[in-house]
């Protein structure tokens, strides 16, 4: 399935446009199925889209009590740790949207589970119970090395199949212990959005869009069932052809 590339002039315009796009996607999902299942991402752009969403008057169009929120990966750290993706998203404004706390599905950390494997099993069970592993929108960041979620190039955990979530040890990016959705689970999404900003990501974006091998660029191998979008600022799009 082909991907669509959308380039915005600045990081801020990218975040604002992605937030507006997310409002429309959520409203459409609720109209079609009653609820919306959205998986968010960490990193700076993951927080930027939340910040833009929280500041947008268009957020009033969404019944947030009928939105379920997940994360594509999480650092296996205690609840509330500032390095957790969900904590960063909360601080950016996620907690202000009016979500039902029972619909915010967080990856349990070492304060709640004995191991990252136990955390991955618990998170997998939550996803099965809530939506069977199907998401309306999967928002993903992309690292300079081409990783997505916590699926890193050449890492032995990245090729795991027949699972929803997995433990990732010895991550090349700190912290070393994480929980990530698998490639199979990421692709159980109606739409996959890659949200990428910055010139340091330009090579990874080019490889992702061009379809580089999974071993070097996991981002090239995640596609939505209905649509795949690369939402970029001009810097991140710098190595793409005209």
SS3 at position 18:
helix
User: Residue range 223-235: average pLDDT?
Assistant: 97
The order of strands in the sheet holding 67-71 is: 4-8, 227-233, 189-196, 135-140, 36-40, 67-71
User: Residue range 28-41: average pLDDT?
Assistant: 97
Q: Which helix (H) or strand (E) holds 85?
A: helix 85-92
- Which band of pLDDT confidence, cut at 50, 70 and 90, is reported for residue 133? low
pLDDT tens digits for range 83-121: 999 999 999 999 999 999 999 999 999 999 999 999 999
139 to 16, 46, 84, 104, 110: CA distances (angstroms): 14, 8, 16, 15, 25
Interior/surface letters 2-32, b for 16+ CB within 10 angstroms, e for the rest: ebeeebbeebeebbbbbbebbbebbeebbee
Of 112, 103, 60, residue with least CA distance to 84: 112
pTM of the model: 0.96
Domains and CATH numbers, the chain: 4-233 (3.40.50.1360)
Cβ count near 186 (within 10 Å): 25
Write phi, then psi, for 190 (nearest 5 degrees). -65, -40
Tell me what pLDDT residue 34 has. 95
pLDDT tens digits for range 38-91: 999 999 999 999 999 999 999 999 999 999 999 999 999 999 999 999 999 999
CA of residue 117 relative to chain centroid, distance: 20
The answer on pLDDT for 131 being more than 80 is: no
CB 219 within 8 A of CB 73: no
């Amino acid at each position: 399935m082909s991907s669509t590339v959308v380039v915005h002039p600045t990081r801020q315009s990218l975040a604002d446009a992605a937030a507006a796009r997310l409002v429309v996607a959520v409203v459409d999902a609720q109209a079609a199925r009653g609820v919306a299942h959205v998986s968010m991402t960490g990193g700076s752009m993951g927080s930027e889209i939340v910040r833009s969403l929280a500041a947008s008057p268009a957020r009033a169009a969404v019944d947030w009590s009928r939105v379920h929120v997940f994360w594509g990966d999480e650092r296996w750290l205690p609840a509330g740790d500032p390095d957790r993706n969900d904590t960063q998203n909360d601080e950016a404004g996620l907690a202000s949207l009016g979500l039902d706390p029972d619909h915010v599905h967080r990856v349990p950390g070492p304060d709640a589970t004995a191991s990252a494997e136990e955390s991955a099993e618990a998170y997998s069970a939550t996803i099965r119970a809530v939506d069977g592993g199907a998401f309306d929108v999967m928002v993903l960041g992309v690292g300079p090395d081409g990783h997505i979620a916590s699926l890193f190039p050449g890492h032995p955990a990245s090729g795991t199949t027949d699972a929803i979530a997995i433990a990732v040890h010895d991550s090349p990016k700190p912290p070393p212990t994480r929980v990530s959705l698998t490639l199979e689970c990421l692709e159980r999404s109606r739409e996959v959005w890659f949200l990428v900003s910055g010139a340091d990501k330009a090579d990874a974006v080019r490889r992702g869009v061009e379809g580089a091998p999974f071993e070097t660029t996991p981002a090239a191998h995640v596609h939505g069932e209905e649509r795949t979008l690369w939402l970029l600022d001009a810097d991140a799009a710098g190595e793409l052809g005209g």
